[in-house]
Structure 1
Amino acid sequence: MNSKIEHILLVMLAALLLTACTGGSKNPARTGGKEVFRLVKKPHSTNSGAAMPTIVQETMPPPILGEGHRTTDDVLYHFRPYVRQQLMPYFRNAGVSYPPKKVTFIALKQERKLEVWAGDAGEFRFIRDYDIRAASGVTGPKLKQGDKQVPEGIYRIVGLNPNSNYHLSMKLNYPNEFDWFHAEREGRYDPGSDIFIHGDSVSAGCLAMGDKAIEELFVLTAEVGHENVKVIITPRDPRVLPLDPNGYGLPTWTPELYRMISAEMEFFSDELRVSNSRPIYPARSPIR
């Protein structure tokens, strides 16, 4: 008798869940990031002390396809709930909605930091920063394929790669118009390409952020829209110490490049690091 009641309850609960989760889709597990459930039996003691099986609904982690086959939607489905949980406190402290309208990533090569700034309208607010795990090369712009230099300048994200060899990656529009203009003037017809912000901790001209950080950056970029994300890469923080364009081996157009970077960085001043209630982190001391 108990087995018969158990069977009836199982059928009824399964029918209810199917009705609630299908939503007219043949594959609800890949559309909209809904939770996936399974039915499990767990022991339950009655008043007489006898153990009776109870049918319960248990949340399962969402599935994700293996690398080489997954889409950006797959990545969002798998990581978005966790990333939102991680980032929402930072956005609340900054007084910025999530997802915001626009985002700027500021990569500081010398400090090995990548700052996230975001805004809904008007000024940007500091959200948080991440350690850059690896960034090959030295101070100065990227000039040619194979020099292993992380570029310097103002860039856009032009693509998201959910099947990167480095977990996840976001491609920059290097070389941009500024880079091409000076390369052509100097007869450099192979200034390099395929510069990414990616996971892992190895670099040959890219910004390696580690897997956890790239998951957050990738999901944030996808939710904002990569066309609404700007990336500033600077040799060091010009808000602390002015950039020096006269270093050994720097091209003659470096002063123009550093003026552009410094002017862009004026929109991201230390005053804007302070939320309505308290500083998010102290202002930096000068680099020694």
Structure 2
Amino acid sequence: MKRPHIILIILSVGILAFTLRKPLQKYLVAGLQTAKGRKTVQDRLEQYGQAVRKRLLPYFEAAKIPYPPKKVIFIGLKHEKILEVWACGKENRFNLIRTYPILAASGRLGPKLREGDRQVPEGLYRIESLNPNSMFHLSLRINYPNDFDREQASLENRTNLGGDIMIHGSNASIGCLAMGDEAAEDLFILVAETGIEHISVILSPVDFRNKVFPKVTYPLPEWTDILYEQIKQELSKLTDK
């Protein structure tokens, strides 16, 4: 076979492998998960529920909120690297339950715009699903991109917004919030026992309740101020004062 033909074949195989890298990665992950045994949310409730309730109940009792609560709000603060858990009972008054450190979250201040930008999203979200077989122990999937994200992308002709944004265990992450395994167990069980439809998530660049957005040397989208005003309004409803 002539040398140019060999080079052409090698290039073709390389292009095919690059094109299929995402699907192949998904099949590999699925295969690894199957090999270690598929678990259900109920399995994880039975496995971790008792220990999690033992850890969480003192916090709920101190906040005078029943467990499981009526509703839960997670507040992820990128600059502060913390995740706050707020909950309410039937009277709909939210109290701070506890705060967890965010062990890892890539990117910088500012919203997520596209696949591969390594950004943690910013905005008002909900939990879309629970993954009891996560490669990062346990994970909670956030519904990024939401309607606001899609609307702004459409206006700017942006496509491929990315996805698979999780709150998960372990201590490493790209575009997600890595909380450590024990914290992930707490959050996973709390969501499962409260009901996924009763969970809201606020992802904010900073804690707008006590500070302003810092000056940055890189450009932000024109609509960022609109987004941050929405976040500020929701955060203002959640205060210990």
- Tell whether the structures are fold-level matches, with TM greater than 0.5: yes
Q: Distance in 1 between matches of 2:128 and 2:92?
A: 24
Specify the alignment match of 1:174 in structure 2: 144
Alpha-carbon deviations, 1:44-81, whole Å to 9, x = none? xxxxxxxxxxxxxxxxxxxxx98441110000001001
Match of 1:252 in 2: 222
Select 1:98's aligned residue among 61, 67, 80.
Answer: 67
Counterparts of 1:247 and 1:106, CA distance in 2? 26
Do the aligned partners of residues 248 and 262 (structure 1) sit closer, same or farther apart at CA in structure 2, a change above 3 Å counting? same
Amino acid paired to 2:53? R
Gaps in structure 2 of 5+ consecutive residues: 1-33
| Alignment match, 1:109 | 78
Deviation at 1:246, TM superposition (A): 7.4
Residue 142 (1) aligns with residue 143 (2): no
Counterpart secondary structure, 1:135: coil
The amino acid of 2:150's aligned partner reads W
Structure 1 stretches of 5 or more lacking a match? 1-64, 272-288
More strand by share: 1
Find the counterpart in structure 1 of residue 211 from structure 2: 241
In the TM superposition, residue 123 of structure 1 has moved relative to its aligned partner by 1.7
User: Is the 2:115–2:160 Cα contact (8 Å) retained in structure 1?
Assistant: yes
* Paired letter, 2:177: L
Q: What SS does structure 1 have at the residue aligned with 2:50?
A: helix
Alignment of 1:38-187 (within 5 A): 67-120=36-89, 121-187=91-157
SS in 2 for 1:111: coil
Task: Identify the residue that residue 6 of structure 2 maps to in structure 1.
Answer: none
Partner of 1:22: none
1:253/1:220 Cα in 2 relative to 1: closer, same or farther (>3 Å)?
same
- Equivalenced residue count is 207
Q: Distance in 2 between matches of 1:192 and 1:245?
A: 26
Q: SS in structure 1 opposite 2:211? A: coil
Indicate whether 1:189 and 2:159 are aligned.
yes
For 2:48, give the aligned amino acid: F
1:170-193 deviation per Cα after TM superposition (whole angstroms, max 9, x unaligned): 100000000000001101111111
Higher helix share: 2
3-state SS in 1 of match to 2:133: strand
Distance change in 2, residues 1:246/1:257 (3 Å): farther
TM-score (norm 2): 0.83
Q: Once the two structures are aligned, what percentage of the paired residues are identical?
A: 51
Query: Which of the two has higher C-alpha Rg?
Result: 1
- Aligned letter for 1:71? T
1-structure distance, mates of 2:123, 2:104: 18
Alpha-carbon RMSD = 1.5
* 3-state SS, counterpart of residue 86 of structure 2: strand
How far, CA to CA, are the matches of 1:68 and 1:253 in structure 2?
45
TM-score, L = length of structure 1: 0.70
Structure of greater relative contact order (alpha carbons < 8 Å, 6+ residues apart):
2
For 2:215 and 2:199, the matched residues in 1 are separated by 27
| 2:168 paired with 1:198 | yes
1:222-241 Cα distance to aligned partner (Å, 9 max, x none): 00011100010001111111
Q: Distance in 2 between matches of 1:163 and 1:155?
A: 22
